[in-house]
Amino acid sequence: MEELRTRREHYKAAEYVCQYWGYYVRQSEENPQVQADTIAFLASKPRRDAMNQINDYLRTNELRDSGRRSLHIIAENGLATICTIVMYNSYNTNNYNM
């Protein structure tokens, strides 16, 4: 819980960013740089876990581990283009860790 408290105090916009980043990504999802940055962000387990931790706390007011992986996050945010890219690359490289 202390880690979450520190993260929320240090990164003042974290709650807003965690809640709404999917909306902003959808608005420019066709941009190759947005695609690359989003995929890189979601491929980073520490970053993905930090976002999940904040979102889970905002949803439940409890500290828990939802275990949402990249594809769960992509789907719940409606990122169809990025989903296609990730699925295509995962299939062609046998990289199923996202």
Instruction: Dump pLDDT digits (tens) for 51-82.
Output: 988 888 888 887 777 778 899 999 999 999 99
Token digits of residue 9: 């105090």
Q: What is the pLDDT of residue 9?
A: 83
pTM of the model: 0.76
Q: How far apart are CA 48 and CA 70, in angstroms?
A: 8
Q: Taking residues 6-19, what's their average pLDDT?
A: 87
Q: Taking residues 7-18, what's their average pLDDT?
A: 87
Mean pLDDT, rounded, of the chain: 86
Q: Taking residues 10-31, what's their average pLDDT?
A: 92
Q: How far apart are CA 25 and CA 37, in angstroms?
A: 10
